[in-house]
Structure 1
Amino acid sequence: MHDPNAIIDKLGGTSAVAQIFGIKPGSVSEWRHTGIPPARLMYIKLAYPELFSSASTPTNHEPATAAAA
């Protein structure tokens, strides 16, 4: 199972992830406690596969723009 806090932090934090999905930061903040919803996690895995490879540890990942998403 993936740690939602680590994923959110690697993507730039709560506000950055909220911007990626076009939702309110409070919704993403809730994911830190309840887990990332499966459909959102699937998108993250496809859009940011480097977050899930053991060989890579990104330090400053730029969030996707609305046009790219």
Structure 2
Amino acid sequence: MDKKLHPDSSLIDAFGGTLKVATFFEITTGAVSQWRWTGVPKSRKKTLRLARPKVYRAWESAVAQPTEAPNV
């Protein structure tokens, strides 16, 4: 069975990737990598939103866009 990445994985990418987010929070890359599967903790999301509001809003807008269903 394949595990699916959490939608927050794209938030990590929007902020420059695992290493940049880990460096920003002064935590291990392993911790941030785990967020790709479990989601970014609420308090950390708030910090990212406050640190880089434009990046966060762009990510939020992209995630909110409905994806088109294929024509069947």
**TM-score, length-scaled by structure 1:** 0.69
Structure 2: 5+ residue runs without aligned partners?
A: 1-6, 59-72
Aligned residue pairs total 53
| Counterparts of residues 24-39 of structure 1 (less than 5 Å) | 24-39=28-43
Per the TM alignment, residue 6 of structure 1 is displaced from its structure 2 partner at its CA by 1.1
Structure 1: 5+ residue runs without aligned partners?
A: 55-69
Q: Sequence identity of aligned pairs in percent?
A: 40
For 1:15 and 1:53, the matched residues in 2 are separated by 21
Deviation string 1:36-61 (CA, Å, 9 cap, x unpaired) is 0011011001111112334xxxxxxx
The answer to which of 4-13 and 20-29 deviates more is 4-13
**TM-score, length-scaled by structure 2:** 0.66
Higher RCO (CA-CA < 8 Å; seq separation 6+): 1
Q: Which runs of 4+ in 1 moved over 4 A?
A: none
> Of the two, which has the highest radius of gyration?
2
RMSD of the TM alignment (CA)? 1.6
Tell me which amino acid in the other structure corresponds to 2:39.
Answer: G
Aligned to 2:56: 52
